């Protein structure tokens, strides 16, 4: 993929990695003897490479391009749940106008494919580094480690590849290695366990990348994943070869294979403790897989085998994520105390501890959205919850207080100053008080998303009782402290209505309010809005600076378009298949 390579050569992601053998973790060298020093060098390099990959999650390119949290903003603005209520500087205005599918596609495309290149380099190094594995060899390797054989030998479905190679250190002769499910940490040396853990992390990140590309660049409610084209599919075995558009089926197969294998490795090395919430683990791999299956479920084909399997797996892995995580639903007592600004938040599964060295300043979530920091929001480019969504929040729901009601300062009406605010300045908007350090942390995933995934999957599987239990595990902790009326009675009356379609509406509402500003809005809109609203279109609130009051429907206008340059630089893509 020449266009991806051009970006990588520019310096985004070249890594120097060592290599071991064709397989993964036995101790029998082949060719010549590998030294302990070489093995330790590989472990150190893989750990360093994974740190580099994680740093791309928050890498700053511009004031509206700062990694995952900027993509969260694009998508929440695109679906209208976030409103750019006023603009002075122009950042994110194209997204507010609904033009993100084309104006943002280049950044998103190379953000994910750049990260993918580095992930594949880690996997390539861990498996031998020579990139010569044929489909047969890959099948043998999978069989050797005792994992499901998911590789189809047919040319159509074999997607083992490399993008342009990185600077691989081929001085090591490698080790022929395997880990099987019954293995435990005690079976391996400390150095071997480090390599295996990095391998699982890299598999998780590749599953994460492809699941995001599926959500952004592919239509929802597709009738046949086996024929619907998606985007080029690259992994460690043919990174040097430009690839054609793969089918959605092939991409989903890769996602599911990577994440289930990662979970197996995390299980085998469960005694390893990660020092940071930035490092992925079993709970995060399970959560990514659960959400991928949730979006794979196709409401056009209710109750057929693929539908039931997708939602069954969404529920299975959501439960696995909940059970394997040390996180808990944010309790009511902490609802207005955290400001979603600290990675130690009990509900955060995955997040970044922002330091002086990694702070993005104005080029960050808080630099764009927090009215208590020196930010674009504070100085004129206010971002707020959509007014119509805000009106849906009942008085008994404490989350209404996550958003400024405008009574004290109409300038910041409906801004999220009860949900996101600086830890050093949670209240004031005076110039002398505002936070000018931008050390608030970044949230990438919360445990609440898994309860909502489990609720939606249970509903699809016709188990409304379980769906309600998963949903109310969250909403029971979101009750207002208002004493002017009987909150408990109002909430009980509301819960009594939650059957059939009203339950699905409640699940959709909670995706939009609970996860507001965290990047779930667009996919919730595309996945659920048509069914929840029936023939009605969603209406943008009057507080949008662009197209207030306009009606929107989840059409192809809300699917990102592949960059036109990709067809030009990748000769393997049939350009007649690209979106118009």
Res. 509: pLDDT tops 50: yes
Res. 72: pLDDT tops 90: yes
Contact 237, 168 (CB under 8 A): no
pLDDT at 573: 85
Q: Per residue in 344-403, pLDDT tens? A: 999 999 999 999 999 999 999 999 999 999 999 999 999 999 999 999 999 999 999 999
pLDDT at 536: 65
pLDDT at 195: 87
Return the C-alpha torsion angle 485, 488, 490, 495, nearest 10: 170
pLDDT at 34: 55
- Name residues whose C-beta falls within 8 Å of residue 316's C-beta, 6 or more positions apart in sequence: 290
Res. 240: pLDDT tops 50: yes
Res. 471: pLDDT tops 60: yes
Res. 177: pLDDT tops 50: no
Contact 262, 204 (CB under 8 A): yes
Per-residue pLDDT band for 495 (boundaries 50, 70, 90) equals very high
pLDDT at 180: 43
- Determine the Cα–Cα distance for residues 247 and 241; give it in Å rounded to an integer: 17
pLDDT at 237: 84
Res. 97: pLDDT tops 80: yes
Per-residue pLDDT band for 193 (boundaries 50, 70, 90) equals confident
pLDDT at 570: 86
> Which has the closest alpha carbon to 456: 418, 512, 413, 416?
512
Contact 136, 18 (CB under 8 A): no
Res. 181: pLDDT tops 70: no
Contact 15, 168 (CB under 8 A): no
- Determine the Cα–Cα distance for residues 60 and 352; give it in Å rounded to an integer: 14
Contact 473, 491 (CB under 8 A): no
Region 405-432: what's the mean pLDDT?
A: 94
Contact 243, 295 (CB under 8 A): no
Give the DSSP per-residue string, 418-434. TTS--SS-SS---TTTS
Res. 153: pLDDT tops 60: no
> Which has the closest alpha carbon to 537: 332, 362, 388, 380?
388
Hey, what long-range contacts does 545-551 have (CB within 8 A, 24 or more apart)?
A: 545/83, 545/84, 545/85, 545/86, 545/87, 545/93, 545/96, 546/84, 546/93, 546/96, 546/97, 546/98, 547/97, 547/98
pLDDT at 184: 53
Give the DSSP per-residue string, 460-480. HTT-HHHHHHHHHHHHTT-B-
Q: Per residue in 313-338, pLDDT tens? A: 999 999 999 999 999 999 999 999 99
Region 261-275: what's the mean pLDDT?
A: 89
Q: Per residue in 241-265, pLDDT tens? A: 889 999 999 999 999 999 999 999 9
Q: Which residue has the tokens 């490092």?
A: 279
Question: E strands, 376-432, where?
Answer: 383-385
Res. 178: pLDDT tops 50: no
Quick one: how far is CA 521 from the chain centroid? 12
Mean pLDDT of the chain: 84
- Determine the Cα–Cα distance for residues 503 and 510; give it in Å rounded to an integer: 11
């Amino acid at each position: 993929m020449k266009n991806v390579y051009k970006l990588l050569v520019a310096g985004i992601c070249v890594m120097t990695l060592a290599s071991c053998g064709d397989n993964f973790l036995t101790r029998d060298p082949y060719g010549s003897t590998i030294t302990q020093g070489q093995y330790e060098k590989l472990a150190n390099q893989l750990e360093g490479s994974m740190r580099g990959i994680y740093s791309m999650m928050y890498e700053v390119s511009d004031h509206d391009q700062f990694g995952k949290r900027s993509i969260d903003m694009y998508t929440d603005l695109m679906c209208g749940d976030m409103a750019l209520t006023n603009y002075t500087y122009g950042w994110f205005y194209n997204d507010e106008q609904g033009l993100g599918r084309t104006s943002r596609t280049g950044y998103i495309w190379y953000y994910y494919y750049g990260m993918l290149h580095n992930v594949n380099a880690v996997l390539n190094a861990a498996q031998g580094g020579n990139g010569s594995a044929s489909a047969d060899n890959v099948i043998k390797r999978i069989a050797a480690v005792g994992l499901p054989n998911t590789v189809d030998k047919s040319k159509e479905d074999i997607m083992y590849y490399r993008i342009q190679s990185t600077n691989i250190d081929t001085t090591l002769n490698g080790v022929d290695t395997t880990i099987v499910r019954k293995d435990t940490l005690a079976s391996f040396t400390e150095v071997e366990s480090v390599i295996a853990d990095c391998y699982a992390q890299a598999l998780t990140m590749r599953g994460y990348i492809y699941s995001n590309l599926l959500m952004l660049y592919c239509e929802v409610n597709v009738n046949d994943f086996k024929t619907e084209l998606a985007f080029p599919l690259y992994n460690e075995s043919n990174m040097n070869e430009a690839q054609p558009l793969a089918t959605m089926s092939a991409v989903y197969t890769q996602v599911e294979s990577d994440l289930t294998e990662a979970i197996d490795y995390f299980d085998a090395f469960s005694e390893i403790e990660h020092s940071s919430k930035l490092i992925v683990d079993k709970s995060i791999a399970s959560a990514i897989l659960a959400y991928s299956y949730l979006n794979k479920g196709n409401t056009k084909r209710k109750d057929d085998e693929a539908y039931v399997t997708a939602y069954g797996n969404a529920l299975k892995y959501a439960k696995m994520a909940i059970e394997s995580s040390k996180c808990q639903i944010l309790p009511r007592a902490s609802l207005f105390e955290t400001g979603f600004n600290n990675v130690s938040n009990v509900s955060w599964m995955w997040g970044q501890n922002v330091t002086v060295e990694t702070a993005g300043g104005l080029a960050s979530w808080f630099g764009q959205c927090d009215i208590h920091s020196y930010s674009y929001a504070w100085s004129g480019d206010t971002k707020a919850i959509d007014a119509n969504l805000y009106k849906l929040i009942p008085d008994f729901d404490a989350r209404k207080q996550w958003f400024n009601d405008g009574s004290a300062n109409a300038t910041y009406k409906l801004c999220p100053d009860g949900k996101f605010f600086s830890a050093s300045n949670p209240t004031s908007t005076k110039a002398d008080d505002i936070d000018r350090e931008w050390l608030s942390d970044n949230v990438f995933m919360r445990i609440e998303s898994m309860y909502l995934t489990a609720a939606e999957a249970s509903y699809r599987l016709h188990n409304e009782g379980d769906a309600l239990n998963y949903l109310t595990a969250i909403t029971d902790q979101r009750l207002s402290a208002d004493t002017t009326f009987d909150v408990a009675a109002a909430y009980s009356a509301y819960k009594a209505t939650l059957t059939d379609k009203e339950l699905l509406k409640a699940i959709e509402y909670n995706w939009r309010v609970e996860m507001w500003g965290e990047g779930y809005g667009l996919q919730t809109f595309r996945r659920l809005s048509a069914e929840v609203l029936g023939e009605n279109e969603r209406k943008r609130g009057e507080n949008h600076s662009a197209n207030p009051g306009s009606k929107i429907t989840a059409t192809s206008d809300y699917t990102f378009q592949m960059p036109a340059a990709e067809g030009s630089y990748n000769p393997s893509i049939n350009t007649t298949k690209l979106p118009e």
